[in-house]
Structure 1
């Protein structure tokens, strides 16, 4: 299952070589929401792996971004005790470009069928 979130890109960390063949990188976005007249800031840390570790390099701190990610969980047992870790595994990032002109434009009309297949069956 895939999820997405938008927010301000606020931190990116160095690539960490976990094993000889596995590397990770973390980055953070800030998600700001108005709830009941209060501004709530949430800071969400993501992980990207392998060839996706270069993904945050295309973005500058302060950019508005959309992150597409999966939730992954791992369980392991240490000293007879179960431990769990949850990762937000980012697999795509996009710039969010909202201009005032775009915000004022009405949504485009896209018919359900191509024009050649639209049938006018009104009785008048």
Structure 2
């Protein structure tokens, strides 16, 4: 089972949807993540029915991306993809959830979601 990751950043680029002869479709997007002096530009991809979750966002939006890391090998070349399966507008009034639903391609880890849903609010907890 793939491990799930999550990060927040600014949507920097939305690529057009690519459709291949086999019927497979994907859409890529780039999120800028602050990292000290040199921000990181991370490219994610959405496949199949997950492409529609990009319809509600625009370049410049603050977003939160839930994703997993996928790797493959083809002719002794290795590839790594950041496979996005949930996109939420960050900040504002709770944000808009752009999860494309629960289909067989959805890699949501319900035990991980439950863990974060049950965490106490520590916003007023002072560490000293």
TM, length-normalised to structure 1: 0.70
| Unpaired stretches in structure 1, ≥5 consecutive residues | 100-105, 109-124
Secondary structure of 1:33's counterpart equals coil
Aligned residue pair count: 95
RMSD, matched Cα = 2.0
Question: Are 1:19 and 2:17 matched, yes or no?
Answer: no
Structure ranking higher in strand proportion: 1
Secondary structure of 1:19's counterpart equals coil
Partner of 1:122: none
Alignment of 1:1-124 (within 5 A): 1-34=3-36, 39-77=37-75, 82-97=76-91, 107=123
Q: CA deviation at 1:19?
A: 3.1
Q: CA deviation at 1:10?
A: 0.8
Q: CA deviation at 1:98?
A: 5.0
Secondary structure of 1:60's counterpart equals coil
Give the greater-gyration-radius structure (CA): 1
| Unpaired stretches in structure 2, ≥5 consecutive residues | 94-121
Distance 1:15 1:98 in 2: 28
TM, length-normalised to structure 2: 0.68
